[in-house]
Chains A and B, each alone.
Chain A
């Protein structure tokens, strides 16, 4: 591990060899406009003020940092949970959509599009569009629409139009393709709110910056508990990787912090039903970004599988590909059943029902032994309300 290296994006939009903007020329003006403006506009004092105010009054930030006493006793180490599940709409996703809607307004955009898998990002986008009074179209795979009907209803209640993606496998990957095609067809008035640290530069960096409020708060909150701003291990689940990017952000270049990423192995790495990109992926291009992705030998993108729709993505953000490739982060993958058991365990040990995505992260405790004095910082990225049907089916509740 090269400590002097920066794990953030470089001037050309790359993290090491990952990232960039591999986009059709039709998208060039849109991406260029964003690239030229995102740092400038988000650094303006009135932007920051409005962003912080909304995060405080509307989202409910800062979210608590909670010392999980019973878990800590059981696993003989110090476990802290960053309670992103307490954000308005139930997950960290809204940190990003608040940031992007403010940016879209400043760019004079009058229409918002977004992709969604399980519907969490769709709901977070529909929410901020209602807040801003802006027209909103959400692309969602036809299959996901059927699987996640409560979130579809929420988006509709919030005033969004939900359009089914009927191409390909009719899931998140295809919803993303449809959103990109919409943007090609509506280049002037529309802003595309991507939900994770994926897509062409500047999206991975922009979304990571909006999510970085998570680790920014952790620093002073940990200091109050532990007398130091950093944990020994920071742990998050990774699909595209936005909650992970947010909680890693201020610790990326701090060699005292061990970074752990937990991916979804689905039914098992070798079963063909998995979403563990760091194990199964190869470098390639997906949705305009050079990163690790699951593909055939011939370069066709393959379908991932995970019981949690939020981790069901065939790629991983370029920041994470770089963290993996450089050895800066430790990647593990856990199966559906381990994650589901943690959903139940966290509920009964700490009284917190996590999203299935979030539940994956805790599985590290079963595979890795930590020291008694180690400080572990988990991103408790989302709550499990949206997953109740899956929990009910699985545990016959």
Chain B
């Protein structure tokens, strides 16, 4: 069974952490993943940096630019991950924009993911329609799940379509915004979380964007199956040692 599907089998809510591969240093990738697993994180999203991250706020823009300056490339990342499954059991997802994947070759990218033990992909600028028509067969061939986003503006009809195309979970974007930390969620956002949770979708729901502390984390997971933290984590590792990641996670879960 795919590790993502398996991770939802238990009763607990999941905490997923996003980080940009190659940031703060080009060779931190494996170290960060180890520290996340040992800190009790349930899932990791490895960000493949892109020069023009349209859906991202300043924090991830900056980490992506630094990672690229550090020399991170698609092949370099796959090389770092070659032995990752010797020691890492939690699901690993690559999140990246479509152009670098297209240049690598979509099939070759999926094949590589399968080879190193990546369980799924999140490609924010690959629309569900095009994925379904052109790439879903390839993803199936290499047993890679593909997860799609929904937002407060997504219509119910489209959510149901995305629910059909998505495998693994649906990435519920907390607000109409680019990525970035928020201190708390508004009533409107909580209403939206409730509305979606009542739709009884086939996929599990993970809330992302704007989760930065234990307050927003708790609020997010009370209406969903888990939450994803990105920008707040990146800010943390910019200023702190990778060895201290457990402190960040402890604070979120507390």
Contacts and interface: CB of A to CB of B under 8 A. Distances in A.
Interface of A: 20-26, 28-29, 167-168, 173, 177, 180-181, 184-188, 282-288, 295, 297-302
B95 to A, nearest CB: 12
Nearest to B98: A285
B178 A299 contact: no
A181 B54 contact: yes
A29 B158 CA distance: 10
| B57, B100, B154 — most chain A CB neighbours (10 Å) | B100
Interface residues of B, number: 42
B176 A187 contact: yes
B50 interface: yes
A300 B51 contact: yes
A300 B178 contact: no
A299 B176 contact: no
A302 to B, nearest CB: 8
Nearest to A180: B54
A330 to B, nearest CB: 27
Given A20-B130, A168-B51, A301-B52, A29 B104 contact: no
B198 to A, nearest CB: 20
Nearest to B76: A298
B125 A285 contact: yes
B41 to A, nearest CB: 25
Query: Which 4 A-B pairs have CB atoms at the shortest separation, nearest pair first?
Result: A299-B103, A299-B100, A25-B149, A24-B55
Interface string B89-117: 00000000111111110000000000000
B211 to A, nearest CB: 16
Given A286-B99, A299-B100, A300-B100, A25 B148 contact: yes
B55 A295 contact: no
A185 B154 contact: no
Given A185-B178, A284-B102, A297-B103, A25 B52 contact: no
A26 B100 contact: no
A295 B154 contact: no
B154 A25 contact: yes
Nearest to A301: B51
B47 to A, nearest CB: 14
15 contacts: A22-B126, A22-B130, A24-B125, A25-B151, A26-B153, A26-B173, A177-B54, A181-B57, A185-B178, A284-B102, A288-B125, A298-B75, A298-B103, A299-B102, A300-B50
A177 B52 contact: yes
B154 A28 contact: yes
Contacts of A173: 52
Contacts of A301: 51-52, 99
A29 B157 CA distance: 12
A141 to B, nearest CB: 13
A250 to B, nearest CB: 31
A26 B68 contact: no
B68 A24 contact: no
A285 B99 contact: yes
A22 B154 contact: no
Contacts of A28: 127, 151, 153-154, 158
Contacts, number: 112
B252 interface: no
Given A24-B149, A168-B51, A299 B101 contact: yes
A185 B177 contact: yes
A15 B168 CA distance: 34
A297 B75 CA distance: 11
A282 B73 CA distance: 18
Interface in B208-240: none
A185 B175 CA distance: 8
B153 A187 contact: yes
Interface string B150-191: 110111001000100000000001001110000000000000
A300 B49 CA distance: 9
Nearest to A302: B51
A237 to B, nearest CB: 24
A26 B74 contact: no
Nearest to A297: B103
A179 to B, nearest CB: 10
B155 A298 contact: no
Contacts of A284: 99, 102-103
Interface string B51-83: 111111110010001001000011100000000
Given A285-B98, A300-B68, A301-B51, A29 B103 contact: no
B124 interface: yes
| A22, A26, A167, A177 — most chain B CB neighbours (10 Å) | A26
A282 B100 CA distance: 12
Nearest to B158: A28
A282 B176 CA distance: 32
A173 B54 CA distance: 11
A277 to B, nearest CB: 15
Given A186-B176, A287-B54, 13 more contacts: A22-B125, A23-B54, A23-B127, A26-B55, A26-B153, A26-B177, A28-B127, A181-B55, A184-B176, A298-B74, A300-B50, A300-B51, A301-B51
Contacts of B176: 26, 184-188
A22 B56 CA distance: 15
B149 A168 contact: no
